[in-house]
Amino acid sequence: MERFTERYITPLRSEPIRKHGFCIMAISCLMIEALESFWRGWPDTSTRGTSRDAFCSFFHRCLKQNSELGVFFKHADNFYKGVRCGILHQAETTNGWRIRRTGSIFNSETKTINATKFHYELEKCLQRYCDLLKNLNWDDKVWQNLRKKMKAIIEHCRPIDCKKRVLYFAYGSNMYTGRFLTRIACAKSVGIAYLENKKVVFNKASTDGSGKANLTDNPGDVTWGVLYEIDVRDLKVLDKIEGGYDRIRVRVLRSDGDPVKAVTYISTNLTSDPVAHDCYKELVLAGAREHNLPRDYIVYLERLPSRPRR
């Protein structure tokens, strides 16, 4: 209770003039994922689809418990896309959602949320969860899941042994530090490097119909990228995130020519239409520019084909 109150409740109990509906909803979305992780016993919500599932199952439970937040159950998937992902990734709601601090908790016709009421109801959900734990036996499933989550939290808090760190060579959208840190929070950028006799193309088949960055053999060519130092335990997380890719060991050269061993990802699941979506290509370019990759290499990336997302 104290952990959630300190992080998600108390910061929004300040003077009203200092609060903003979007800030309230951003914190509320973080709280929902955290609370659902405890309820389900998930170590985290980084696995593809888990975050979306968290909102669907949370609102479904609210409906069964007669919480006012149950009104969002029929809109859970759209809420996830338009509110959670919109605010946290784009600093705005999408799909027609609106955030206010007056009126009913939810107007389904205008898709308007009263952020203040939403957050107060969320606090009630937290209290209901804590009360439930007090009344359940230690071996109940709810307690078992809480212990699974706490075990993961304790593991994440352990001091990282530098001997258990590994270098990861990113050459696609993960070059953009802001994106990669949302996936592997403890990652540390340690410079740039290049891989010899490889060329980047957007020919990895994606479920959205576009092509994603991939490596292909090309003697004499080089692929530049960013080196991240990550915990070796996070490789399992990265393996799940990089679905459709295979992890391989590579020898890359730092910008000063020193060779180092690293891991990276390639795919044999290829598309016959090697064209990326514009938004994905922009992430790749953002990372290349952020880390000051050679200008001629950035020009090469700029010339790779892309198209708007349909």
What digits encode the pLDDT tens for the residues 70-121? 999 999 999 999 999 988 887 889 999 999 988 999 999 999 999 999 999 9
What digits encode the pLDDT tens for the residues 37-72? 999 998 877 666 788 899 999 999 999 999 999 999
What digits encode the pLDDT tens for the residues 16-28? 545 578 888 988 9
Indicate if the pLDDT at residue 162 is higher than 60: no
Indicate if the pLDDT at residue 209 is higher than 80: yes
pLDDT at 87: 85
What digits encode the pLDDT tens for the residues 119-131? 999 999 999 999 9
pLDDT at 3: 63
Polymer length of the chain: 310
Here the tokens at position 274 are: 């090697």
- What's the sign of the alpha-carbon dihedral 34, 37, 38, 42? negative
Strands 165-170 and 211-231: antiparallel
**Adjacent-strand bridge partners of 99:** 113
Query: Residue 308: which region, alpha, beta or left (left: phi > 0; alpha: psi -120 to 50)?
Result: beta
What are residue 93's phi and psi, to 5 degrees?
-80, 155
Percent of the chain whose predicted confidence (pLDDT) is above 90: 68
Indicate if the pLDDT at residue 155 is higher than 90: no
**Adjacent-strand bridge partners of 192:** 226
Q: Where in the chain is the domain with CATH 3.10.490.10?
A: 162-307
Question: Which residues neighbour 214 within 8 Å (Cβ) at sequence distance 6 or greater?
Answer: 200, 201, 202, 203, 204, 266, 267, 270
Indicate if the pLDDT at residue 2 is higher than 80: no
Work out the pLDDT band at 161, boundaries 50, 70, 90: low
| pTM of the predicted structure, to 2 decimals | 0.53
Q: What is the CA radius of gyration of the chain?
A: 22
CATH topology of domain 162-307: Hypothetical upf0131 protein ytfp (3.10.490)
